Structure 1
Amino acid sequence: MKTNLLAILGATLISSATHAQITTIEDVLGRSVELDVPVKRVVLGFYAEDYMAIGSEQAFDHVVGISRDTWQGWRPASWELYTDYRPALKDIPDVGEVEAQTFSIEKVLSLNPDVVLLADWQYKGLGMDVETLEDAGIPIVVIDYNAQTLERHLQSTHIIGELTGQAERANQIANEYEQTVTHIHRKIADAGLPQPRVYVEFGNQGPNEYSFTYGKNMWGAMVSSAGGNNIAAPFVEWWGPINPEQVIASNPEVIFIAGTESGKKSDAMIIGQNIDRTIAKERLEGFTHRSGWSELEAVKNNRVYGIYQGASRTIMDGSMLQFIAKAQYPELFHDLTPEQNYLEFYRRYLPVTPTGTFTVSLQD
């Protein structure tokens, strides 16, 4: 990373004045990045709730820029919940969004951050713009909860802990997550039961149009982690559509439909903040009326479930992994209370607690 002499001298002065310490952080891509920690000026690309949960609410006192669409645009109900509690969030400058190609390097440079914290997919999406930031002496650190692997979840959590000076808090959250995952893995391995065939879909297009499914990341990775045989894995690498005939031919025994608080279509899967359970169940049931689905094992046995899209790709998704495991192996995990555990995480680590429906089944 290129750094000019003034930047080095400035960092030294700041370190002396604030008792920060220079440390080398290895991000999820194996890049070594030197920083004064705890950092004082952060541009945050994604994972806002994770940053606040791990770094504490006070960590947001040092967030000088945010990719607002990844919060307000994608999860408006969550944004409203937090901004009602902390209106100052609205005053954090917006740097644009990588996927929409509105991310502004000029805006980031004008904010003079100590570090830009990006998701793996954002870092890769920026391409050559990464060099522009690094040539200006602005460090970039990459984290990744989208991969839904235990290794990257834990590493990303520890990185946020280092950046915010909350290593002990990060250790606690990481250890709790690891215990959740290893308990599920161990119990499934010990039982030696046959893997159920599983299909998962983001239900944002409603029952009349198949939206995308997942291969080896996000919900697809979670299905596999919880011992399911993801029927999309041979056909979809990361995420994308699958032929409806293939779903029927694969005859899944368990189906998950993910959704958010606001769908693009009136019959889209709707679930999350402020969503009534009855409405979520009605939307979920609508998917069972698709052509050919009445003969699927999952539909015949009422093993169709709704899950909250906003509870994936986050350190909080341990409760969703519990829900998936319980749906796939009800005899093994009947004692788990995933939705309660999801809300309990908020009560322990975040300043707000949402209300609504975050998991639902046809049996509710």
Structure 2
Amino acid sequence: MRRKSAVSLLALFLLVTLMLNGCSNHNRTESAATSQMTVEDLLGRQVELTAPVEKVVAIGPGALRLYCYINGDSKLVGIEQMEKDSPTGRAYYLAYPSLAELPVIGPGGPNNAPDPEKLLAVKPDVIFDTYTTDQAAVDALQAKTGIPVVAVSYGKASAFDQDVSKSLQLIGRICGQEQKARDLTAYIEKCRGDLDERTKNIPDSERPTAYVGGLGARGTHGIESTQGKYSLFEAVHAKNVADEAGKSGSFMVDKEKLIAWNPDKIFLDLAGFAMVQEDYRKNPQFYQSLAAVKNGEVYSQMPYNYYTTNIETAIADAYYIGKVLYPEQFKDIEPEKKADELYQTFVGEKLYARMAEDFGGFKKLTLQ
């Protein structure tokens, strides 16, 4: 009997030892899979977190887009109401319909502050944030929630700002998608370099003058809404007549000044095209005094500024602009196919047909 008891005790001892070793090995494996890291965000803040993260939210204009470029809809645990209310024109939302099913974590929008209580309810491991350039506000959100808040940014340019690449690489590092981030930022740089190489050596005498109107700027506007140093024109070295105003960024131009500039080609953002058409019906004489209108040289531009820049659409626009201005240098480019390549690279799905259905696509425009 005592012998049986000894055998039983030995068996029990071995079983407990195996269980402890198993737990120890599991802990070592889990420890090896995660690590504490300190990252510097786009505000220069040092943020400590455990990576790779398992639960993520992205708040503020364009934050969710940057995240989806790197990690799709994986690991997201919440979404802003703004994203659900206005899905049009955002390729990432079309590519990942599951986003609509996520719980709401705040109102969203550029004029609304984050909601700490709703953020806490979904218990994210990290918050990616584009709400503010105010470091104190980001620090305050982190203090209120106890959750690491990482500021990301689009910078100032529409498509090729270095802050975008830095943000994508930062998201990739935190989410364990560093190779995807490297590949995507390299692709963006390749597009930038390609546009530059095709257009930088064209003689000035062979560059038609150009104007872009109908650009959104805190709302929808007509032909008077333009930009100086317009980034998509800059990407293809276009002769932007609006640069003569000596301004950078969005501004409204007098119609008389546009008549004086009289650009060879006009591009109209399709978000503002209905307003241009309405204005044309009221004042056709003004439009018919423009050489580009008389000569049929008015072209579309797909809207890309929905809750900040849809980078893939902006780059697709740049290729179409290049094709219109310099057909010889872009003779190998089919803008629709290039757009699909961009959508596929950024969000994993060819979406040009869907975007063209919503907005009208790349084409000559007729004012009537």
Q: Normalised by the shorter chain, which TM-score bucket? A: 0.7 to 0.9
1:227 deviates by 0.7
1:337 to 324, 334, 337: 334
Q: Map 1:32-181 onto structure 2 (within 5 A).
A: 32-45=46-59, 46-55=62-71, 57=72, 60-70=73-83, 72-73=85-86, 75=88, 81-82=94-95, 85-86=97-98, 89-101=100-112, 103-119=114-130, 122-124=131-133, 129-136=137-144, 137=146, 138-144=148-154, 147-148=157-158, 149-181=160-192
1:313 to 309, 316, 326: 309
Task: Report if aligned partners of 1:40, 1:114 keep a CA contact under 8 Å in 2.
Answer: yes
Relative to structure 2, which stretch is displaced further, 163-172 or 127-136?
127-136
CA distance in 2, matches of 1:288, 1:35: 59
Q: Which amino acid aligns with 2:363?
A: V
CA distance in 2, matches of 1:77, 1:292: 34
**CA offsets, 1:243-286, max 9 Å, x none?**
222222222222221134xx7x9x347xxxxxxxxxxxxx6996
C-alpha RMSD of matched pairs (Å): 3.7
1:144 deviates by 0.9
1:74 deviates by 5.5
1:326 to 323, 328, 331: 323
* Corresponding pairs, count: 322
1:186 deviates by 1.9
Task: Specify whether residues 169 and 268 from structure 1 end up closer, same or farther in structure 2 by C-alpha distance, changes over 3 A only.
Answer: same
CA distance in 2, matches of 1:166, 1:284: 47
What's the secondary structure of 2:78's corresponding residue? strand
1:224 deviates by 1.5
CA distance in 2, matches of 1:284, 1:158: 44
1:199 to 211, 215, 239: 211
1:302 deviates by 2.5
Residue of structure 2 in register with 1:296 after alignment: 290
Q: Which amino acid aligns with 2:332?
A: D
What's the secondary structure of 1:117's corresponding residue? strand
Task: Report if aligned partners of 2:226, 2:253 keep a CA contact under 8 Å in 1.
Answer: yes
Task: Report if aligned partners of 2:223, 2:268 keep a CA contact under 8 Å in 1.
Answer: no
Task: Report if aligned partners of 1:115, 1:141 keep a CA contact under 8 Å in 2.
Answer: no
TM-score, normalised to structure 1's length? 0.73
TM-score, normalised to structure 2's length? 0.72
Q: Percent identity?
A: 23
CA distance in 2, matches of 1:77, 1:135: 32
**CA offsets, 1:142-183, max 9 Å, x none?**
121662334233223322322321111222222122111112
Task: Specify whether residues 235 and 186 from structure 1 end up closer, same or farther in structure 2 by C-alpha distance, changes over 3 A only.
Answer: same
Task: Report if aligned partners of 1:69, 1:97 keep a CA contact under 8 Å in 2.
Answer: yes
- List gaps (5 residues or longer) in structure 1: 1-12, 270-282
CA distance in 1, matches of 2:31, 2:362: 48
What's the secondary structure of 2:132's corresponding residue? helix
Residue of structure 2 in register with 1:274 after alignment: none
Task: Specify whether residues 19 and 206 from structure 1 end up closer, same or farther in structure 2 by C-alpha distance, changes over 3 A only.
Answer: closer
CA distance in 2, matches of 1:62, 1:308: 31
CA distance in 1, matches of 2:124, 2:192: 35
Task: Specify whether residues 299 and 287 from structure 1 end up closer, same or farther in structure 2 by C-alpha distance, changes over 3 A only.
Answer: farther
Q: Which amino acid aligns with 1:26?
A: E
Task: Specify whether residues 172 and 287 from structure 1 end up closer, same or farther in structure 2 by C-alpha distance, changes over 3 A only.
Answer: farther
Task: Specify whether residues 79 and 29 from structure 1 end up closer, same or farther in structure 2 by C-alpha distance, changes over 3 A only.
Answer: closer
Task: Specify whether residues 320 and 82 from structure 1 end up closer, same or farther in structure 2 by C-alpha distance, changes over 3 A only.
Answer: same
What's the secondary structure of 1:123's corresponding residue? coil
Q: Which amino acid aligns with 1:249?
A: A
Task: Specify whether residues 183 and 129 from structure 1 end up closer, same or farther in structure 2 by C-alpha distance, changes over 3 A only.
Answer: same
Confirm whether residue 246 of structure 1 aligns to residue 257 of structure 2.
yes
